[in-house]
Structures are given as C-alpha cells and as structure tokens.
Amino acid sequence: MAASRIWIAGAAAAVLTLATGGAGAQPPGDPTKGATVFDDHCSDCHALGGVGQGPNLVGVVGRPAGTDPGYHYTEAMTASGLTWTPANLDRFLQGPKALVPGTAMSETVPDPTQRQDLIAYLATLTPKP
C-alpha cells in the first residue's frame, strides 16, 4: 500500500538523522537494556533527580556540560565547552579523561552497543515540568 510505504521511508530517514547524532532526538539503542547498564555502571554515583557523588543526569542529553545547578563540578568540566549530544556522550563514556582532561569522572563503558543502549536510556530521562 502506497501510504504505508511513504511512512516506512519517513521512518528510515528519521533513523538516519538520529544515527548521525542530532541533539534532542531519541538516539538509536534499546533504552530498556540501557537502564540495566545504568544500574550496573552509573547508579552508584549518579542519583536520578538529585545530586549524588556525581551530578543529576535527568535531562543530560542536549544539556551543556557542567550546568546542573545543584552540583559542584571540576573546573575541567565547567570549562569544557561541551554539550552532551549523543555523539559527545559516546566519546565521554569511552574515556572521560580523554575527552575532558581533569574530570573527576573515570567510569567507562567499553562496549559500543551498551553505550548506545545507555545513551538511549539517558535520552528518556527528561525533567518533570
């Protein structure tokens, strides 16, 4: 049917846009699996919706680095000039100190699929109005 074919073409284009790392859009990856990665690797330090040993990660996708008002960051992070696009998060989670020399965060997620799932999960965490 013609109508559904148009829809499929549109969806494919949207997936391509996301794969290239557009900020603000839902990145590829499985957020449900990403939630498990978060529990295994991140939740010890990052409380959701509040400050822990690390800053609050609710709303982090698309947010400029070092700007959670409740958290006292290293100067390295506040001066990094980065915005947490999916692409930058992917780089950060491969080696935080390589992307932001001097950051206090050292946790890495070496597996690319796990990183993608994790970033998809982070993108679902949006602040409540």
Q: On the CB side of 55, how many CA atoms lie within 13 Å of its CA?
A: 21
Task: Report, in Å, the least distance between residue 29 CB and ligand HEC.
Answer: 13
Residues in 35-94 at the binding interface with ligand HEC, rule: CB under 6 A: 41-42, 44-46, 53-55, 57, 60, 65-66, 68, 73-74, 76-77, 84, 89, 92-93
Regarding 113 and contact with ligand HEC (CB under 6 A), the answer is no
Give contact residues for ligand HEC (rule: CB under 6 A): 41-42, 44-46, 53-55, 57, 60, 65-66, 68, 73-74, 76-77, 84, 89, 92-93, 103-105, 107, 109, 118
